[in-house]
Structure 1
Amino acid sequence: MARDIVIWPHKVLTSATKPVTDFGPGLEKLLDEMLESMREAKGIGIAANQVGESLRVALVGREDGTVFEIVNPQVLERSGKVTWEEGCLSVPDQWEKVQRYEKVKVRYQDKTGQWHEVAAEGKLAHVFQHEIDHLDGHVFVDYLSGLKRSLIQERMKKLQKTLKRKKD
């Protein structure tokens, strides 16, 4: 079942997540719910804290529609610079240019606890960095000017109020 996506600047999105130590059925359930939430929102990646879970878990979408399930990821290498227009499921309908590394090498565990390494470039590298930033308590708006960030924050606070009224 899809979970609601948390809207920035909610505290769960601005705090670093906790490492996963339990690779049991709870993790599998969380990954399934995250995938449903991501697909429902038409996203290309999602982090656990975006569905309210402060755990170091994310999904990173590949171009073929499949996903990397990354647990406890670490960026090992970074190189080059590239700017892409970036958005976020937790900051809906807001798009801004963000500079990131063109290539990254990431080490992560899968849902069984096995370690893997992947080298990514281009859009895939960008999505890895975006999702790992979430796990570190950062959202893409952190890279924007104070003015742009403030304007987007006001829009998101209004959206939060609207969503809360709909639930009540």
Structure 2
Amino acid sequence: MLDARNHQGKFGTDYIRVLASAAGLMWSQDDVDLDGVDLCLKLPGRTPAGFSPRIEVQVKTVSKPEIRHGFLNFDGLDRTQYNKLAGTGFQVPRYLLIVHVPGSDREYTDLSTAGLLLRHIGYYLSLHDHPVVPDTDRRRHIRVKVPVSNILTVESLHALVLDTAVLSTR
């Protein structure tokens, strides 16, 4: 059985996989995580935005989110993880996806005759306009503020992939 931390992280990644599948996206995963990318999400084939547009995502989870003034304050990125998402120069756009999960793994899902419920909710944030933190910065973790309006849904995940492709062709 997985320890609590790995179980929570795996559930968060699986939550994203389910949303991606529902959005008609394909997901893939590198066999080794060297670049700070948990999943690549793409829309296969020709689209108005180009051929097989894609994004790369880092998935994090939080069981007790700190939400203030319309933002989820997330302190779960160390400097290295943050820098693998921040700034410009990425060939494929990157997003931080944060899944708010229940405190108990027994509450991750609920099954009824109406279907399977995944708890709780996911958020997204692009850090392309955030500066890279220099190696001399001794902060252990970098706080990012995620607008609570950036809710991950089938539609928003699909739009992130397509909107990114449109932006990258300009």
What TM-score, normalized to structure 2? 0.24
TM-score, with length taken from structure 1: 0.24
- Give the structure with the higher percent helix: 1
